[in-house]
Structure 1
Amino acid sequence: MIGLCVLASALGAMLAPPGARPDSPGDCELIGVQRVMLHTEIVLPADAFDPDSPVRALFPEANGYAIGWGDRRAYPGALTAGQAVTALVWPTPSVLHVHALDHPPLEGRQGVTVAVSRQGLEALVREIEAAFVPGEAGRPIHAGRGKRGPRSVFAQARPSYHLLRTCNVWTGARLRAAGAPVGVPAVHLLPWTLTGELNVRGQAGCPGRP
């Protein structure tokens, strides 16, 4: 099993999209990835999103956002064995969890910081926005209160959740679209393999910046 994961990671490195390692200060953006229990979240500054973005529509005044994805029944509450089996055995609806940050998103945060190109950040934003199910006037459709008080919320999402597309696999695929060196997203069933890969192979700062 370990050998297969190493092979998959090496293959992912060879097939990684361009832009993972920005080579100039002007073409470099910092993003964050953090573990929250068994989930991973992508942390982005608010100005990564346009004013009419579905993310900004939820919390327009936020300084940043921590965004995760998962099964609609299992993610919002305490995970039970029955929910876990149901979520994995066949495709189930999904939700996005959006936590609005009042502080600069990468300031004092626990997790991994990864540098990507501007093109990579734009690709990541498009991927996240495309995951929202649009409601009236394109706004997100609320799916319940968030896990971190009034500054967080669940919204209906796509695609479906299943054994081959779990929460951390989804995060890994979004990061790979940004050019982040995550290897093969499908191997990241657990959050620490994803953050560990980024710790080992990711570029934590922008070239030429202190």
Structure 2
Amino acid sequence: MAAILCLVLAYLAAALAGSLLPANGDWEEPDHGVRIFVYTGAVHTGVLVPAMNGIQDWRHLVKAEHFVDPRYAASSHLLFGWGERDFYLDTPTWAETDPLTVLKALFYGRRTLLHVDYIHSPKPGPNLRPLVISEEQYRQLSRQIESQFQLDRNGRPQPIEGYGPADVFYESTGHYNFVRTCNEWTGEQLRKIGVEIGQWTPFSQSVMIWFSERGAGREAQLSN
């Protein structure tokens, strides 16, 4: 028991250090570019991007017919999250969380899914923090997310029905574990394009502390 407690405390200490130590410490948010959002659902984070603009059109992967209600395809934005396959599919609400499913995801998780939600006209708020990135950064972010769709032999994404009419899952690449969590996935996407964020972001708070007020209320010339 003492050994387990020590491991837990060591993990939490490493998470705190990784969350507070900055990567890309010299980055500054540009005045012009693409406005995206960083989302938190208290436990899980994701990246909200324009469904279509002059840089990226997601309709070649995220198709209206993949959704229970295709009318949501007219929404302005797409929310991308990533996580362990069984946990996603077996836990439609946090109230239905099974500790055994959580432990399996953390230590035995293998297959993963991208979770995509349509969101229309998002507004900044406690769970949705605006962030302006350059057009080149958005182009890179789009390529990163695209590369994580697991395609079938015909080069097509593999959709799985979501929780409701406006969301869908897709088979994804990569393995989930206690080091590469759903929140570290969010941090990794932003870190790779040069945004200032923690070196390791295993928890939702690890991500969101970097975007508490950034960009809120600021008017920029945006290309979304």
The TM tier, using the shorter chain, reads: 0.7 to 0.9
Q: Could you list the per-position Cα deviations for residues 134-170 of structure 1 after superposition, in whole angstroms to 9, with x for gaps in the alignment?
A: 1264322023x223x1111111111111111110000
Q: Which residue of structure 2 lines up, in the alignment, with residue 66 of structure 1?
A: 79
- The gaps in structure 1 that reach 5 residues or longer are none
Q: Which residue of structure 1 lines up, in the alignment, with residue 134 of structure 2?
A: 117
Q: Could you list the per-position Cα deviations for residues 153-195 of structure 1 after superposition, in whole angstroms to 9, with x for gaps in the alignment?
A: 11111111111111000011012223322121x2x22212211
Q: Which residue of structure 2 lines up, in the alignment, with residue 85 of structure 1?
A: 103
Aligned ranges for residues 1-210 of structure 1 at < 5 Å?
A: 5-6=16-17, 9-14=20-25, 20-22=28-30, 24-25=31-32, 28-48=33-53, 49-50=56-57, 53-56=60-63, 58=66, 61-76=74-89, 77=91, 78-101=96-119, 103-104=120-121, 106-107=122-123, 110-135=127-152, 137-143=154-160, 145-147=161-163, 149-184=164-199, 186=200, 188-199=201-212, 202-204=214-216, 209=221
Q: Could you list the per-position Cα deviations for residues 79-111 of structure 1 after superposition, in whole angstroms to 9, with x for gaps in the alignment?
A: 31111111111341100111122x22x336641
Instruction: Give the partner amino acid of 1:99.
Output: D
Aligned length: 197
Identity of aligned residues (%): 25
Query: Partner of 1:134: helix, strand, or coil?
Result: coil
* Separation (CA, whole Å) in 1 of partners of 2:182 and 2:15: 21
* Separation (CA, whole Å) in 1 of partners of 2:186 and 2:215: 18
Instruction: Give the partner amino acid of 1:117.
Output: S
Give the conservation status (yes or no) of the 8 Å contact 1:181–1:198: no
- TM-score with structure 1 length normalisation? 0.79
* Separation (CA, whole Å) in 2 of partners of 1:153 and 1:179: 29
Which of structures 1 and 2 has the bigger CA Rg?
2
Q: CA deviation at 1:120?
A: 0.9
- The gaps in structure 2 that reach 5 residues or longer are 1-11, 68-72
Give the conservation status (yes or no) of the 8 Å contact 2:15–2:202: no
Query: Partner of 2:23: helix, strand, or coil?
Result: helix
Q: CA RMSD in A?
A: 2.9
- TM-score with structure 2 length normalisation? 0.75
Q: CA deviation at 1:13?
A: 4.0
* Separation (CA, whole Å) in 2 of partners of 1:205 and 1:178: 23
* Separation (CA, whole Å) in 2 of partners of 1:39 and 1:55: 21
